Amino acid sequence: AQRVTQPEKLLSVFKGAPVELKCNYSYSGSPELFWYVQYSRQRLQLLLRHISRESIKGFTADLNKGETSFHLKKPFAQEEDSAMYYCALRGSGGSYIPTFGRGTSLIVHP
Amino acid sequence: KAGVTQTPRYLIKTRGQQVTLSCSPISGHRSVSWYQQTPGQGLQFLFEYFSETQRNKGNFPGRFSGRQFSNSRSEMNVSTLELGDSALYLCASSSDMTAGELFFGEGSRLTVL
């Protein structure tokens, strides 16, 4: 069974501080990992996916298969980064049902 | 391009009633998937339709059902509502769910009294 764990419900930092939102997964095959973000009063949207290996809004995430993690990082948090972040996993081999973590609320204080 | 549209946005029902929610995907998208979002459980997958066929189903009771029409619009139905069905129901579309990125609607917030 596939599982996604986001251990922090809430992460509170000050502007300019580094941010790391943790995501650990359990999956027996080769997963595809995503980070979705939901800003206040906006719909859920894709932030980044591991196969793109790109930086979006200063955020990066590296898939670590040894530690089965896909942590989201940003060196200097901004107030506009305050949002709900969801880590998601999609399997392979015919079953593409996505599994989402329970989400981490990031609050960036001025 | 217009985004994913869900109707109604809010609704209140009583236990035992049934409800139908609608989702219009982004033009050209053939895959529509549904999720239940609650504070305690996060997003849980309900089912996915592609070209009018249910391709995947999550672990929900048979009271939850759905369908997709030839124009890719989708509906989900919940019968015999229970208090625990109160949630935000999200619809997402993609060109094909195997392709990865999901485009979400704003959701339909259901309250069961």
pLDDT digits (tens, 9 = 90+) for B71-107: 999 999 999 999 999 999 999 998 876 667 899 999 9
How many CA atoms lie within 13 Å of A86's alpha carbon, on the beta-carbon side?
23
pLDDT digits (tens, 9 = 90+) for B2-55: 899 999 999 999 999 999 999 999 999 999 999 999 987 889 999 999 999 998
Contact with chain B for residue A8, Cβ under 8 A: no
Contact residues, A window 42-71, toward B, CB-based 8 Å cutoff: 43-46, 49, 51
Find the length of chain A.
Answer: 110
Nearest-Cα residue of chain A relative to residue B58: A97
Taking chain B, what is the end-to-end CA distance rounded to the nearest angstrom?
37
For testing the chain B interface, which of A42, A48, A96 should be mutated: the one with the most B CBs within 10 Å?
A: A96
Is A37:A45 a contact under the CB 8 Å cutoff?
yes
> Would the CB atoms of A98 and B45 count as touching at under 8 Å?
yes
